[in-house]
Amino acid sequence: AYVLVYREGGGLGGVETIGDPKLADKKIGIVGGTPPASNLAAAKLMRSAKTYPLMVDTRLAPSMAEVMIKDLLAGTIDAAIVWGPMAGYYAKKS
């Protein structure tokens, strides 16, 4: 399962679906080629999304979940859609 991660006070509290109007003007981080990327496209949210490459071997590059959480904390993106276990791990670590 994937989760929407956002900063507290970022105006996204209570968002439960990808179709929530609160997401319309937000820059959302998403790993390309994943199921949530298709959902963002169907909801017409890819124009404002920041895509990250699908990287499986973290010996060659950092985890994109980690990169997205860092970008979220830096304010580069407003939210990130991340695989649940990875989101929890990196959010807690940050």
Write the pLDDT tens digit of every residue in 35-65.
999 999 999 999 999 999 987 777 878 889 9
Token pair listed for 43: 């909801």
User: What kind of fold does domain 2-10+21-93 have according to CATH?
Assistant: D-Maltodextrin-Binding Protein; domain 2 (3.40.190)
Q: Are strands 2-6 and 28-31 parallel, antiparallel or unpaired?
A: unpaired
Query: CA-CA distance, 25 to 47, in Å (whole number)?
Result: 10
Could you state, in order of their start, the residue ranges of all structural domains in the chain?
A: 2-10+21-93
Specify the DSSP class assigned to residue 93: H
Answer yes or no: pTM beyond 0.85: yes
As a whole-number percent, the residues of the chain with pLDDT over 90 amount to: 77
80 beta partners: 5, 29
Query: CA-CA distance, 20 to 81, in Å (whole number)?
Result: 14
